[in-house]
Amino acid sequence: MRDTPGQAVPHGDAFDDPYGDRYPGRGRQGGRRPRGPGLAARLGGWSTRHRRTAVFGWLLFVVLAACLGGVTGVAEVSESEGMSGDSARAERILEDAGIEAPAGEMIMVSASSPDGWRQVAREVTGAVEATGEARHLRGPVPSEDGRAGLLQFRMHGDAETSGDRVQPVIDAVEKVRAAHKGEGVTVHQYGEASADKWLGEMLSDDFAKAEWTAVPLALGILLVAFGALVAALLPVALAVTAFVAANGLLAVVSHQLHIFDTTSSVMLLMGLAVGIDYCLFYLRRERDERAAGRDAQTALRVAAATSGRAVLVSGLTVMVAMAGLFLSGLLMFKGFAVATILVVLIAMLGSVTILPALLSWLGDRVERGRLPRWRRRGEARGRARRKGGHGGSGRISAGVLRPVLAAPGVFAVLATVAMLALSAPMLGMKTEQLTLDKQMPSGSPLRVSSEAINETFPGGPAPAHVVLKAQDVDSPRVRAALADFAQRARADKHFGKGVETTVHRAADVAEIDVPLAGNGTDDASKAAVERLRDTLVPQTLTPVARGGQAYVSGELASSMDFNDQLGRGIVPVLVFITAVTFLLMLVSFRSLPVALASVVLNLLSVGAAYGVMTAVFQHGWGAEMLGTEAVGAIESWMPLFVLVVLFGLSMDYHVFVVSRIREAHERGAATREAIREGVRATAGAVTGAAVIMVAVFAVFGTLSMQDMQQMGIGLAVAVLLDATLVRMVLLPAVMMLLGERNWYLPRMLRGLPGLSHGDPVEAETVPGTAGPAYAQPVAAGSSDPAPAARSR
């Protein structure tokens, strides 16, 4: 990896110690010795000095992490681990006893004329039995109008692997269906095994779609933003390698903390978003400094000391915010937290180590593959910036900022009203664990079959599942309790008549299926579950249970337990992330108003995301235009997840914008000019980062699963609003109203430790330029600054 004269950035002590006697005017000021470089600058300096070690070390780390993950494999959650409350306890009793109900399947054969389906049903029966995968085949049971019959059976073997073995049954049914095509006979199949097969294939296809769509899309946007292929490839390469490494480490961690199958999709989304953002901000700052006339070494040093530090602050904020998910008490969120923390940590470290090393090695070659139009635009921008202007960048931001800074009070009120209006629908938000039918896209064959079977053979909601662990399930006392429970349940209006009891003598466990009133999700069904838990089970089964182990589970009971745990967990999570975000911003910027504004603006962005999600997915407003559909509710885990993710991600923009404003203010600019310079200087990078993030999230909004759609669209809208209305209008308006009070820190907090900025880079004049610049390196033994390298 040999340096090329005139292209590679010089590396050595000058980068790592730019604050000594080599730089004029950097001695003691007011009796205080200048501070040394901050952590980001030191990491950048080490990387450029040992860039061969940094590059090959990174590649070795990625390969080893990926191989390690491939060897260990991923340990996914068990049925009981995915539940909470009494539902989890009931399922754990069955798992400990080795009791697992085989997967059930249903096949409905219907015809236009009464009894026209019977011959086809017999053929289906024979074909299914011939596969050897079915047992206890019952039916056909005729429908009320006599035009359809329902076959029911159980799959042989383990229910968890039934999806892998159901294909011969599907093929057999399809063969009969094809033989009678055009005869007015329809055949529908639905069940646990076929649903598991569909879900597994769909998740695999969706993950591949997200990966192969999001990455090229991000690359295309970066190519437009930078106009050079090599520069565009760097952020994508960093994000993808960070994801690969994090995915491998997650597989190792999963053996201690089991994860859900959707966790990798969440990790991909977060890895692409933050990895590309961090690299984009860093690279954009380095290019801006070169365009302003800095030599390559100084431009990279400035990027490390400014954008590198902002990357560390932002990454730390995201990781700490995600750590709040551990307070939720739910394994799903713990897995999401670990996955996100891993990928953000790796992307953050890569941005402040491998990226400086690559930029140092590439030098001007980072412009390779540049399109002629962008080359001319870059040269014109460089000439304008060397004359003290913005080089044509930030024109839109300048147009927006002009009226905002002229009338900050008016625009602060208008922007706040707009955000509150978008948030208003969240007041009626309804959350629930979406059933598989609602997760499937309308028109999918499995959903069509499910709806057709339920409409022809309405069997009511899935029953509640009561599990009893007894000392001796065959004892007269336990048998009497089971009989008493069944009798009282049949006589109660909250339940149906078909109460079924299954006794597992070897395990001393009894299972009781209790039909519920209502449709399975309404108030009547919930009241039935509560009556079971509060009255029937405590009065009849708990007294005979060993250690009180008598619990109510089932689809609705599990959903209720999950929502209850979310309700208990969301308050401590919210308190944690708001407090931590406030403290991190306070320590980072040493400003009480900036810290408070960070929290308030984040809450506005979260509220707007909630409102849009409720309007689209619960009420159906604009759902068709967005290519999705309303399901009447928001997935129960979505609000908490979106809250934490947005609190973390919105810090990207906030930290970079406010850091640039503070930087200008510390150089002596007035508040108005500091805001103008900070927002305009970051407008291009923030816009590019927002477009990429919105595009990546929007890809997830096009996936098959309803929860992925909700997450993708909700986050995409929130990031779009955060990068435009909040950061371009509301933030500058609020800071303009505060004026010098932006940097107020109470006397009692002035001893608060701060995240080291390093010594501020002093404003000087680069030879041949008209605007403030950064100190230029001076050759050893000389007192004259080295001439600036040519602008790109």
Average pLDDT, the chain: 82
The mean pLDDT value for 75-97 works out to: 87
Residue 7 reports pLDDT greater than 50: no
Residues with Cβ < 8 Å from 139, sequence gap 6 or more?
121, 125, 149, 150, 151, 152
C-alpha distances in Å from residue 776, one per residue of 36, 199, 765, 773, 789:
17, 59, 9, 9, 10
Residue 377 reports pLDDT greater than 80: no
At 409 the pLDDT is: 94
Higher pLDDT, 749 or 422: 422
- Pair of tokens at residue 211: 């990966």
Residue 385 reports pLDDT greater than 80: no
Residues with Cβ < 8 Å from 381, sequence gap 6 or more?
291, 391, 392, 393
* CATH number attached to the domain at 401-446+568-761: 1.20.1640.10
At 729 the pLDDT is: 92
Beta strand residue intervals within 48-133, DSSP E:
104-111
**Res. 733 pLDDT band, cuts 50 70 90:** very high
Q: Are 541 and 501 in contact (CB under 8 A)?
A: no
At 36 the pLDDT is: 54
Lowest mean pLDDT among 141-150, 357-366, 517-526: 517-526
| pLDDT tens for each residue of 246-285 | 999 999 999 998 888 778 878 887 888 888 888 888 888 8
| pLDDT tens for each residue of 736-767 | 999 989 988 888 887 766 554 444 443 333 33
Q: Which helix (H) or strand (E) holds 332?
A: helix 331-352
C-alpha distances in Å from residue 474, one per residue of 470, 514, 544:
9, 21, 11
In the chain, list all ranges with CATH 1.20.1640.10.
401-446+568-761
Residue 787 reports pLDDT greater than 60: no
Higher pLDDT, 251 or 206: 251
Q: Are 368 and 228 in contact (CB under 8 A)?
A: yes
C-alpha distances in Å from residue 473, one per residue of 86, 477, 479:
20, 9, 7
The mean pLDDT value for 423-436 works out to: 88
Q: Which helix (H) or strand (E) holds 186?
A: strand 185-191
What are the beta bridge partners of residue 570?
none
Identify residue 567 by its one-letter amino acid code.
G
The mean pLDDT value for 314-337 works out to: 88
At 754 the pLDDT is: 56
Q: Are 702 and 627 in contact (CB under 8 A)?
A: yes
**Res. 533 pLDDT band, cuts 50 70 90:** very high
Residues with Cβ < 8 Å from 121, sequence gap 6 or more?
109, 139, 140, 149, 151
Residue 782 reports pLDDT greater than 80: no
C-alpha distances in Å from residue 334, one per residue of 119, 416, 518:
53, 33, 34
- Pair of tokens at residue 269: 């989304």
DSSP 182: T
In the chain, list all ranges with CATH 3.30.70.
447-559
The mean pLDDT value for 476-483 works out to: 92
CATH code 3.30.70 for 447-559 = yes
| pLDDT tens for each residue of 25-62 | 333 333 344 455 678 888 888 998 999 999 999 999 99
3-state helix, strand, coil in the chain (%, to 5): 65, 10, 25
Sheet holding 509-514, edge to edge: 500-504, 509-514, 464-470, 545-553
DSSP 82: T
Q: Which helix (H) or strand (E) holds 235?
A: helix 229-253
Q: What distance lies between CA 443 and its chain's CA centroid?
A: 27
Lowest mean pLDDT among 122-131, 470-479, 515-524: 515-524
Lowest mean pLDDT among 331-335, 433-437, 558-562: 433-437
C-alpha closest to that of 302 among 677, 768, 760, 710: 760
- DSSP string over 591-659: -HHHHHHHHHHHHHHHHHHHHHHIIIIIS-TTTTTTT----SSEETTHHHHHHHHHHHHHHHHHHHHHH
Residue 245 reports pLDDT greater than 90: yes
